[in-house]
Amino acid sequence: MNKAVALTCAALALQVSAIGWLVWRYERIVQSGTEIRLKCRAYDPYDPLRGRYLAMTVSEECTNILFKVNEEHLWRGMDEKAFVKLAKTPGGNGLYRVDAIAREPMDDGLWVKPTSLWIRDALGYSDKRKDESDDEFKVRREKAGFKAVMSFPDQLFVNEKIAPEAEKLLQKKSDSAVAVYRAYDGRIVLTDIEIDGKPILSAVKE
């Protein structure tokens, strides 16, 4: 075996190992993780380079930021530098919400890394009241502090034959759509989308 062939085989082996590790990690999260439900909304679901999947957006906001926010943090992605704490929403509806943001998990709660996380002023200029002076708004804005806006995994691959109908249903019933996740060891993966409380593939067949 010459050197070029050996290098090619080694590269392929590394790729296969990497894929196998990703599959193993995903299955571990699915099997051992806590089930999480977050509200979601649909958007354009087709990517010709990756195949058919259902695409939606899950965006959460939280003002409970457990570290000092500096000017350098504003409007910059911090997905590699922050964890979010997920907790059940009051009322027993089965949904979760983001309860806090920290550099690292700070207690025994359910902490995960979001897909992306941005920090901004809690109040934007659109929140300025008509009868409020610039100075008054500035004071109120400073008191309001900051909020974090984050997203979570948003692509659910499905069978190409059923994808068009599932897409139509998701678009039609977007207001009642819920993203179902599994969270484990700081990771979170998307496992299903529910429509009116039913798995979307089951809802399509009805």
- Residues 92 and 125 occupy one common structural domain: yes
Q: What is the pLDDT of residue 162?
A: 80
Give every CB contact of residue 92 below 8 A, 6+ residues apart in sequence.
none
Mean pLDDT of the 127-133 span: 91
- Residues 62 and 28 occupy one common structural domain: no
- Residues 128 and 189 occupy one common structural domain: yes
- Residues 94 and 109 occupy one common structural domain: yes
- Residues 13 and 92 occupy one common structural domain: no
Q: What is the pLDDT of residue 26?
A: 59
Handedness of CA 172, 152, 158, 96 (dihedral sign): negative
- Residues 82 and 140 occupy one common structural domain: yes
Q: Which domain holds residue 123?
A: 35-205
Question: Which tens digits make up the pLDDT trace of 77-112?
Answer: 665 678 999 999 987 778 999 999 999 999 889 999
- Residues 68 and 160 occupy one common structural domain: yes
* 166 or 101, greater pLDDT: 101
State how far the Cα of 137 lies from the Cα of 151, in Å rounded to an integer. Answer: 29
Number of structural domains (the chain) is 2
Could you tell me how far CA 153 lies from the centroid of its own chain?
4
- Residues 69 and 132 occupy one common structural domain: yes
Give every CB contact of residue 12 below 8 A, 6+ residues apart in sequence.
none
- Residues 70 and 15 occupy one common structural domain: no
- Residues 60 and 101 occupy one common structural domain: yes
State how far the Cα of 25 lies from the Cα of 90, in Å rounded to an integer. Answer: 31
- Residues 71 and 14 occupy one common structural domain: no
Q: What is the pLDDT of residue 35?
A: 92
Residue 190 is encoded by which pair of tokens? 């998307």
- Residues 54 and 14 occupy one common structural domain: no
Average pLDDT of the chain? 81
Give Rg (Cα) of the chain.
Answer: 21
Question: Which tens digits make up the pLDDT trace of 36-74?
Answer: 999 988 775 555 544 567 888 899 999 999 988 876 667
Q: What is the pLDDT of residue 22?
A: 47
Inform me whether the pLDDT recorded for 10 exceeds 60. no
Instruction: Yes or no: say if 146 and 69 are a contact pair by the CB < 8 Å rule.
Output: yes
Q: Where do the H-state alpha helices sit in the chain?
A: 3-32, 134-144, 163-172, 200-205
Residue 7: burial class (beta carbons within 10 Å; 0-12, 13-18, 19+): exposed
Mean pLDDT of the 144-157 span: 89
